Amino acid sequence: MAKERLVFLSPVDPPGAWRGAFEKAAPDVDFFVSRGEMPSPETIDWAVVWRPPAGLLARLPRLRCVFSLGAGVDHILIDPDFPRHVPLCRVVDPYLTSGMSEYVVLHVIGHQRNLLRNIADQAAARWSPFLPRQADETRVGILGLGELGLDAARKLRPFGYHLAGWSASRKTEPGVESFAGRAELGAFLARTDILVCLLPLTADTQGILNAAAFAALPRGAAVINAARGGHLVEADLLAALDSGHISGATLDVFETEPLPATSPLWRHPRVLITPHIASMADPRTTAVAMADSMARLRRGEPPLHQVDPAKGY
Q: Which is nearer to ligand NDP, 6 or 76 (CB)?
A: 76
Size of the site for ligand NDP (CB under 6 A): 31
Of the CA atoms within 13 Å of residue 7, those in its CB half-sphere come to 24
Q: What is the CA radius of gyration of the chain?
A: 21
Residue 149 lies near ligand NDP (rule: CB under 6 A): yes
Residue 276 lies near ligand NDP (rule: CB under 6 A): yes
Residue 91 lies near ligand OXD (rule: CB under 6 A): yes
Residue 279 lies near ligand NDP (rule: CB under 6 A): yes
Say whether 276 is catalytic.
yes
Alpha helices in the chain (DSSP H): 15-25, 34-37, 74-77, 94-112, 115-123, 147-156, 185-190, 211-216, 234-242, 264-267, 283-298
Residue 48 lies near ligand OXD (rule: CB under 6 A): no
Choose, by CB under 6 A, the member of 252, 272, 282, 303 that binds ligand NDP: 252
Min CB(22)–ligand NDP separation in Å: 21
Residues 212-231 close enough to bind ligand NDP by CB under 6 A? 226-228
Residue 26 lies near ligand OXD (rule: CB under 6 A): no
Choose, by CB under 6 A, the member of 49, 65, 271, 278 that binds ligand NDP: 278
* Contact in structure between 52 and 77 (CB atoms under 8 Å): no
Nearest to 36 by CA among 7, 58, 63, 12: 7
Residues 57-86 close enough to bind ligand NDP by CB under 6 A? 70-72
Choose, by CB under 6 A, the member of 9, 26, 65, 71 that binds ligand OXD: 71
Crossing angle, helix 115-123 and helix 94-112, to 10 degrees? 70
Residues 262-291 close enough to bind ligand OXD by CB under 6 A? 280
Alpha-carbon torsion, ordered 36, 40, 45, 47, to 10 deg: 40
Burial class of residue 255 in the structure, from the number of CB atoms within 10 Å of its CB (0-12 exposed, 13-18 middle, 19+ buried): middle
Residues acting as catalytic residues: 228, 276
- Contacts to ligand NDP by CB under 6 A: 70-72, 96, 100, 144-149, 166-169, 198-202, 204-205, 226-228, 252-253, 276, 278-279, 313
